[in-house]
Amino acid sequence: MARGPVDDAKRRAALDDELAFWSREAALDGRFATEILRRLDPTNRPGEHPAFAVPDVVAWAVRRTSVARPRVVDLGSGPLSVLAAAHEHGAVDVTAVDPLADDYARLIDERGWDYPVVPTAGSGETLADVVGRDAVSVVYCRNALDHAASPRRCLEQIRDALRPGGLFLVEGVAFEGTHQNHEGLHGFDLFVASGALRCRDADDDVDIDVDGLVPFVTVPDASAPDATEPEWFWAAYHKPPATVDATYAPELRALAVAMRDAVTGR
């Protein structure tokens, strides 16, 4: 029997803990006060962007999902989306989605913060219902997929929400479920092994391979499932269109190289 947050009452209690964590951080009373202050400062905000090669991702999304200004979802954004500067400066249109969005909106209001992106209520498991099907060019998810009740259901919904040619970019702390003793919202370990993003609950592998969402970058190349030191993972997926021209595969390979170089700092 999995020890994750399996029933509604446990999950509500775990979300309350998550909100308490963010309330402390918002009061600059937590571990991440420096990051919070950087996100709040418009000058420093671009430095909070993910390491994924952002200009290459935007160029891909414009070309391959046929939109002038790609719509990007920050899934499980927390109160202060790290994509806010890209939204503010017009490169992309960011929709932040989080189950605690209403609480976060209250937190932002209480603090009197003026932040360019305010989260919308929703979860990975209901994403396509919240943002529409074939509706967004990129779904980005940082340190949140392993907080979900069902990572697999999230991937299915992410696929459905993406436009053909769209990208799913995911990163986070590997083996966080184990590090947190599978308590609270930490029901799962996510990690990279043999070139694939893998998921485990407290007892078993969880199959998160979904048809129509294809991984094309994972970093690191190999990580130890029993690693005890915090390690960061990155993975990128694409939603292949029904038909592709001859440049699709070489462009995807070039994007993979740019992303790998960006996240490994090469």
Ligand X SMILES: C[S@@+](CC[C@H](N)C(=O)[O-])C[C@H]1O[C@@H](n2cnc3c(N)ncnc32)[C@H](O)[C@@H]1O
Binding site for ligand X (CB under 6 A): 18, 75-78, 98-100, 123-125, 142-144, 147-149, 185
**Minimal distance in Å, beta carbon 15 to ligand X?**
6
Measured in degrees and rounded to the nearest 5, phi and psi for residue 42 equal -55, -30
Provide, rounded to whole angstroms, the least separation between the CB of residue 253 and ligand X.
Answer: 28
Q: Which is nearer to ligand X, 179 or 251 (CB)?
A: 179
DSSP SS3 for 2: coil
* Distance between CA atoms of residues 132 and 72, nearest Å: 12
Minimum Å gap between C-beta 17 and ligand X is: 10
Interatomic CA distance for residues 92 and 246, integer angstroms: 27
Residue 197, helix vs strand vs coil: strand
Give dist(CA 91, CA 200) in Å, integer: 36
Please identify, using beta-carbon distances, which residue of 181 and 247 lies nearer to ligand X. 181
Q: Decide whether 25 or 56 has the Cβ nearer to ligand X.
A: 25
Cβ 80 to ligand X shortest distance, Å:
7
Q: How far is the CB of 78 from ligand X (least distance, A)?
A: 3
Q: Where are the beta strands (DSSP E) in 122-260?
A: 136-142, 162-174, 189-193, 196-200, 205-206, 214-219, 231-238
105 burial level (CB within 10 Å; 0-12, 13-18, 19+): middle
Between CA 139 and CA 169 the distance in angstroms is: 6
How many whole angstroms separate alpha carbon 264 and alpha carbon 171? 13
**Nearest to ligand X of 39, 64 (CB atom):** 39
Residue number, 77 or 223, with CB nearest to ligand X = 77
